[in-house]
């Protein structure tokens, strides 16, 4: 028996950028509620919401200041409940982003902890008298001097995102309560932010540095992490039929896959596959994933998120046929797919043209560090444009607009509605097909890589994905009926002519 999430196509929604329902230029639950029918029409069965909790939004909600409420920018608790009910009514489940590695420095727990070295909450965070060499994942030292109490606190991301001390059982107990609260609210599971970063170490060894670049060795995946991951997964599973997906900060398959399965979370994000810089390694990586997950566990499948350039630019070079090729791979392969909002209409990157247009803390840090490094403003801007995650965060381009009254909180991209309609129809057809038993089967019947041509059989369907130039393929299957394709194929009893970047599903 398959679990619901094994048959579900998920859709990631970046909270501030999906739909503004109250006319202040920021996406919110009212806007989301209006768009549930759109998501139902697309056919997705699950939504991942990025953090919607109260937050000073240094990192757009990944700096939580209260785990038990809704940020006023996004609406009220009642708005959230109405949205979840509407999604459920359409057969769509909703999972929440849980950021439990760190909290905002504005969180009451941290405000208490920084009152004095003897405060009861002091040990809920990580303090040292002298910093080691650890760098924040956004750049710069991961230690910040707290003048009033005379110690450094640890922050693996922005200065305003202070790490919780998971070595303290009180912290854990508090976080279990947070999980319970949201499951009781009716959410269907969690996406767990940087969940292998939980600082369990007591050693604080310096990280090795190679070619001026720090390797994050002792600030993640620490001893005890595997057991902790298993415990988190088990606790949530024990509560019912919920889904957990872990964000593992790594692009190494071996590090990512070990946290997925019965002794960990349900699945973990495969950054080795989804966030690569070019198409070149995709087939080889899928081949590796196919072997690793042949034991019945499932990988994740995605080509975009709020943390990376959109696949339209990064992987498809702005070509519709390539975007459709990638969509076909993501929605027919073995794994749990995550569509990033806007991808289904071929949305392109937004590139801030000046620092005034930059919103992402990672891009802003990169800019400041480049200036400190002696770069000119022009050069620093180029570095920031490379690093900024604003690219994928432009508002969704709805026919009626993102907001009916206000200018959006971040720059918008020029819509191409004709392209959007073609892409949407293609995604819709793929998602409909994916719901058939054939694509829910674990693994592949045949999986073959021939240069840049990838073919596999799932159930009664043959999927051919040509990542290279036009070519022929021997027809080993006999009668082939075309079900969905991005290009016209010539098929006879002996061969199939595949144009460059052809993607086709045949019924065999």
Give me the residues that bind Ca ion (CB under 5 A), please.
20, 22, 24, 26, 28
Sign for the pseudo-dihedral over CA of 325, 327, 331, 334 = positive
Q: Which does 307 bind (CB under 5 to 8 A by kind): Ca ion, ligand TEU, none?
A: ligand TEU
Least Å from the CB of residue 360 to ligand TEU: 8
Other beta carbons within 10 Å of 379: 13
Nearer to ligand TEU, 70 or 194 (CB): 194
Nearer to ligand TEU, 314 or 458 (CB): 314
Whether the CB-CB separation of 343 and 331 falls below 8 Å is answered with no
- The angle that helices 169-184 and 225-238 make with each other, rounded to 10 degrees, is 30
Least Å from the CB of residue 26 to Ca ion: 4
Nearer to Ca ion, 24 or 174 (CB): 24
Q: Which of 42, 19, 29 is closest to 91 using CA atoms? A: 42
CA distances to 169, 262, 506 from 234, in Å: 17, 8, 40
Q: Three-state SS string across 139-200, please?
A: CCECEEEEHHHCEEEECCCCCCEEEECCCCHHHHHHHHHHHHHHHHCCCCEEEECCCCCCCC
Least Å from the CB of residue 16 to ligand TEU: 12
Nearer to ligand TEU, 60 or 455 (CB): 60
- CB within 8 Å of 431: residues ≥ 6 apart: 9, 42, 43, 44, 331
Least Å from the CB of residue 59 to ligand TEU: 5
Q: Which does 20 bind (CB under 5 to 8 A by kind): Ca ion, ligand TEU, none?
A: Ca ion
Whether the CB-CB separation of 64 and 105 falls below 8 Å is answered with no
Nearest residue relative to Ca ion (C-beta): 28
CA-atom Rg of the chain in angstroms = 23
Q: Which does 26 bind (CB under 5 to 8 A by kind): ligand TEU, Ca ion, none?
A: Ca ion
Least Å from the CB of residue 160 to ligand TEU: 11
Quick one: how far is CA 404 from the chain centroid? Answer: 28
| CA–CA distance, 135 with 142 (Å, rounded to integer) | 5
Q: Are strands 446-450 and 93-98 parallel, antiparallel or unpaired?
A: unpaired
Q: Which does 24 bind (CB under 5 to 8 A by kind): Ca ion, ligand TEU, none?
A: Ca ion
* CA distance between the termini of the chain: 25
Burial class (CB in 10 A: 0-12, 13-18, 19+), 120: exposed
Nearer to Ca ion, 33 or 316 (CB): 33
Q: Which does 157 bind (CB under 5 to 8 A by kind): ligand TEU, Ca ion, none?
A: ligand TEU
Least Å from the CB of residue 424 to Ca ion: 24
Beta strands per DSSP E along 315-452: 336-340, 446-450
Contact residues for ligand TEU, defined by CB under 6 A = 59, 62, 99, 137, 157, 193-194, 247, 249, 306-307
| CA–CA distance, 339 with 361 (Å, rounded to integer) | 24
Other beta carbons within 10 Å of 99: 27
Nearer to ligand TEU, 20 or 59 (CB): 59
Q: Which does 127 bind (CB under 5 to 8 A by kind): ligand TEU, Ca ion, none?
A: none
Provide the CB-side half-sphere exposure for 63 (13 A, CA).
20
Least Å from the CB of residue 137 to ligand TEU: 4
Least Å from the CB of residue 165 to ligand TEU: 17
Nearer to ligand TEU, 93 or 314 (CB): 314
Q: Which does 99 bind (CB under 5 to 8 A by kind): ligand TEU, Ca ion, none?
A: ligand TEU
Active site residue 193: yes
Q: Which does 137 bind (CB under 5 to 8 A by kind): ligand TEU, Ca ion, none?
A: ligand TEU
Q: Which does 22 bind (CB under 5 to 8 A by kind): ligand TEU, Ca ion, none?
A: Ca ion
In DSSP terms, 446 is beta-bridged to 457
Nearer to Ca ion, 22 or 388 (CB): 22
Of 79, 219, 247, 390, which is the active-site residue?
A: 247
Q: Which of 307, 311, 377 is closest to 342 using CA atoms? A: 311
CA distances to 8, 50, 75, 104, 275 from 53, in Å: 25, 9, 10, 11, 26
| CA–CA distance, 233 with 239 (Å, rounded to integer) | 10
Least Å from the CB of residue 400 to Ca ion: 15
| CA–CA distance, 128 with 117 (Å, rounded to integer) | 11
Of 193, 257, 266, 343, which is the active-site residue?
A: 193
Nearer to Ca ion, 21 or 246 (CB): 21
What are 182's two structure tokens? Answer: 């949201």
Whether the CB-CB separation of 91 and 40 falls below 8 Å is answered with yes
* Active site amino acids: 193, 247
């Amino acid at each position: 028996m398959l679990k619901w999430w094994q048959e579900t196509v998920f859709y990631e929604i970046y909270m501030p950028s999906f739909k503004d329902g109250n006319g202040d230029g920021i996406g919110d639950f009212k806007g989301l509620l209006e768009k549930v029918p759109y998501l139902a029409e697309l056919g997705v069965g699950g939504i991942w919401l990025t953090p919607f909790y109260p937050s000073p939004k240094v990192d757009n909600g990944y700096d939580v200041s209260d785990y038990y409420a809704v940020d006023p920018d996004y609406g009220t608790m009642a708005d959230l409940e109405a949205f979840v009910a509407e999604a459920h009514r359409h057969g769509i489940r909703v999972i929440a982003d849980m950021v439990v590695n760190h909290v905002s420095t504005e969180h009451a727990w941290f405000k208490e902890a920084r009152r004095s070295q003897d405060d009861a909450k002091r040990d809920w965070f990580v303090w040292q008298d002298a910093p080691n060499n650890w760098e924040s994942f956004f750049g710069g030292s991961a230690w910040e001097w707290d003048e009033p109490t005379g110690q450094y606190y640890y922050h693996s991301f922005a200065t305003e995102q202070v790490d919780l001390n998971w070595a303290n059982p009180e912290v854990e107990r508090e976080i279990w309560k947070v999980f319970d609260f949201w499951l009781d609210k009716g959410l269907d599971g969690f996406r767990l932010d940087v969940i292998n970063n939980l600082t369990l170490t007591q050693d604080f060894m310096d990280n090795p540095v190679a070619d001026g670049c720090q390797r994050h060795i002792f600030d993640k995946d620490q001893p005890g992490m595997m057991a902790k991951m298993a415990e988190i997964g088990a606790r949530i599973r024990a509560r019912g039929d919920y889904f957990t997906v872990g964000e593992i900060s790594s692009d190494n398959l071996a590090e990512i896959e070990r946290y997925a399965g019965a002794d960990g979370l349900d699945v973990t994000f495969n950054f080795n596959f989804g966030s690569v810089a070019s198409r070149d390694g995709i087939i080889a990586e899928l081949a590796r994933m196919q072997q690793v997950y042949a034991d019945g566990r499932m990988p994740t499948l995605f080509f975009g998120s709020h943390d990376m350039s959109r696949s339209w630019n990064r992987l498809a070079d702005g070509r519709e046929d390539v975007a459709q090729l990638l969509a076909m791979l993501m929605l027919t392969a073995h794994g749990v797919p995550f569509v990033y909002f806007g991808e289904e209409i071929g949305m392109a990157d937004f590139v801030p043209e000046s620092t005034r247009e930059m919103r992402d803390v990672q891009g802003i840090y990169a800019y400041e560090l480049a200036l400190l490094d002696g770069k000119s403003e022009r050069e620093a801007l180029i570095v920031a444009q490379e690093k900024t995650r604003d690219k994928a965060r432009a508002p969704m381009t709805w026919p009626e607009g993102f907001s009916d009254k206000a200018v959006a909180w971040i720059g918008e991209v020029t819509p191409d509605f004709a392209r959007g309609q073609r892409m949407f129809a293609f995604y819709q057809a793929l998602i409909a097909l994916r719901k058939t038993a054939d694509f829910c089967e674990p693994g592949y019947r045949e999986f073959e890589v021939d240069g840049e041509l990838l073919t596999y059989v799932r159930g009664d369907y043959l999927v051919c994905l040509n990542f290279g130039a036009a070519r022929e393929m021997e027809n080993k299957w006999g009668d082939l009926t075309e079900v969905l394709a991005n290009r016209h194929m010539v098929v006879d009893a002996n061969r199939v002519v595949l144009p460059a970047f052809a993607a086709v599903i045949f019924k065999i």
